[in-house]
Amino acid sequence: MSSKSKYNKNVVIVIASIAATGGLLFGFDTGVISGAIPFLQDYFVLTDSQVENITALGLIGAVVGALFTGRITDYLGRKKVILASAFVFATGAVWTGLAPTVNQLMISRFYLGLAIGVSSFAVPLYISEISPTKIRGTLVSMFQLLITVGILSAYLSDNAFADNNNLECWRPMLWVGVIPAAVLFIGMFFLPETPRWLMSKGREEEAKKVLSRIEDPEFVDASIAGMKSDMAIDASQEGFREIFKPWLRNALIIAVGIMFFQQFVGINTVIYYSPKIFLAAGFEGAEAAIAASVIVGVVNVLFTIVSLFIIDKLGRRKLYFIGVTGIFFALICMGLGFMLPGAGKWFLVISMLVYIAFFAISLGPLGWVLITEVFPTRVRGLGSSIGSLSNWGFNTLVVWTFYKMANAIGNAKDVVVPEGKDLSEVCPSCVGGVFWIFASVALIGLVWGYFYIPETKGISLEKIEEHWRKGGKPRDLSK
Which parts of this chain interact with ligand BGC (CB under 6 A)? 144, 147-148, 151, 262, 267-268, 271, 300, 364, 367, 391, 395
The answer to whether the beta carbons of residues 300 and 152 sit under 8 Å apart is yes
CB of 475 to ligand BGC, least distance (A): 23
Q: Which is nearer to ligand BGC, 7 or 143 (CB)?
A: 143
CB of 8 to ligand BGC, least distance (A): 28
CB burial of residue 247 (10 Å; 0-12, 13-18, 19+) = middle
Q: Which is nearer to ligand BGC, 70 or 410 (CB)?
A: 70
DSSP H helical ranges for 131-203 = 136-161, 170-175, 178-190, 195-200
Query: How far is it, in rounded angstroms, from Cα 433 to Cα 455?
Result: 34
CB of 105 to ligand BGC, least distance (A): 22
Q: Which is nearer to ligand BGC, 37 or 94 (CB)?
A: 37
Q: Which is nearer to ligand BGC, 125 or 271 (CB)?
A: 271
The answer to whether the beta carbons of residues 54 and 175 sit under 8 Å apart is no
The answer to whether the beta carbons of residues 124 and 139 sit under 8 Å apart is no
DSSP H helical ranges for 162-266 = 170-175, 178-190, 195-200, 204-214, 217-235, 249-264
Supply the DSSP symbol for 164: T
CB of 268 to ligand BGC, least distance (A): 5
Q: Which is nearer to ligand BGC, 322 or 408 (CB)?
A: 322
CB of 445 to ligand BGC, least distance (A): 15
CB atoms within 10 A of CB 107: 16
Tell me if residue 310 falls in helix, strand or coil: helix
CB of 44 to ligand BGC, least distance (A): 26
Q: Which is nearer to ligand BGC, 27 or 132 (CB)?
A: 27
Q: Which is nearer to ligand BGC, 57 or 210 (CB)?
A: 57
CB of 389 to ligand BGC, least distance (A): 12
Helices (H), strands (E): how many in the chain? 20, 0
CB of 266 to ligand BGC, least distance (A): 11
Q: Which is nearer to ligand BGC, 381 or 393 (CB)?
A: 393
Query: How far is it, in rounded angstroms, from Cα 19 to Cα 120?
Result: 11
Q: Which of 108, 144, 127 is nearest to 27 (CA)?
A: 144
CB of 118 to ligand BGC, least distance (A): 15
Supply the DSSP symbol for 455: -
Q: Which residue is nearest to ligand BGC, using beta carbons?
A: 364
Q: Which is nearer to ligand BGC, 27 or 77 (CB)?
A: 27
CB of 120 to ligand BGC, least distance (A): 8
Integer CA distances (angstroms), 94 to 32, 45, 90, 120, 181, in order: 14, 22, 7, 20, 11
CB of 64 to ligand BGC, least distance (A): 17
* Radius of gyration in angstroms for the set of CA atoms belonging to the chain, rounded to a whole number: 22
Q: Which is nearer to ligand BGC, 297 or 376 (CB)?
A: 297
The C-alpha angle 293, 96, 76, rounded to 5 degrees, equals: 100
Tell me if residue 179 falls in helix, strand or coil: helix
Query: How far is it, in rounded angstroms, from Cα 265 to Cα 197?
Result: 34
Q: Which is nearer to ligand BGC, 155 or 219 (CB)?
A: 155
The dihedral sign for the CA sequence 33, 259, 377, 216: positive
Query: How far is it, in rounded angstroms, from Cα 288 to Cα 117?
Result: 33
Distance of CA 235 to the CA centre of its chain: 31
Query: How far is it, in rounded angstroms, from Cα 351 to Cα 336?
Result: 10
